[in-house]
Amino acid sequence: AQDSLADSLNYELQRQKVNQLLDQRTARFGHFDESLKKRTGIFGLKTKKDMQASIDILETIVQTDNAIFAETKKLLDFKDQMLDFKEFEKEKVAELARDYDQRINGYISTISKLQQEQDRLKAEIRELQNRKNTSNGLTFLFIVLLAGGGFFLWYRKSKLNAQKTHNN
């Protein structure tokens, strides 16, 4: 982010520099127009000095144009670097998005498998509880039958003893 901010700042400074050079060129071109109108010679003609002043102004305009071209090239280079950096950032973000998608899909797959395993274990627990309840019911029935059989045998034995003592 800091590199991007520094690049943006450098780009803006370079753009201002080019705009200043363009403003200078415009001003110098205005001076050139004035120098063309200047005629200080006899009968309103241009003197060698007037023509040299116009030529000097044209030379500064050419130098300014050369500086504008050089600074504009730097500006375009900054722009290209920023575009390259932005493309790099876009690719990086896209790569991260793909990576996150893969991770999320992996998590979803794992969660799905765990939910299926949980459902299977819940079904197994229900089955084991049913078996336990059946086993407990059968055990209780067996104990009741055993106690009933024991009570029946005790009752019968005591009735037989009572009849034996009554018969004697």
Whether residue 1 has pLDDT greater than 60:
no
Question: What is d(CA 166, CA 117) in angstroms, rounded to the nearest whole number?
Answer: 71
What average pLDDT does the segment 8-26 reach? 88
Q: Please name the residues in contact with 89: beta carbons below 8 A apart, sequence gap of 6 or more.
A: 4
Whether residue 35 has pLDDT greater than 70:
yes
Question: What is d(CA 52, CA 41) in angstroms, rounded to the nearest whole number?
Answer: 13
Max distance between CA atoms of the chain, in angstroms, equals 182
Whether residue 67 has pLDDT greater than 60:
yes
Q: What is the pLDDT of residues 97-151, one digit of tens each?
A: 999 899 899 989 999 999 999 999 999 999 999 999 999 999 999 999 999 999 9
Q: Is the pTM of this model over 0.75?
A: no
- Of all residues in the chain, the percent with pLDDT exceeding 90 is 48
Q: What is the pLDDT of residue 47?
A: 80
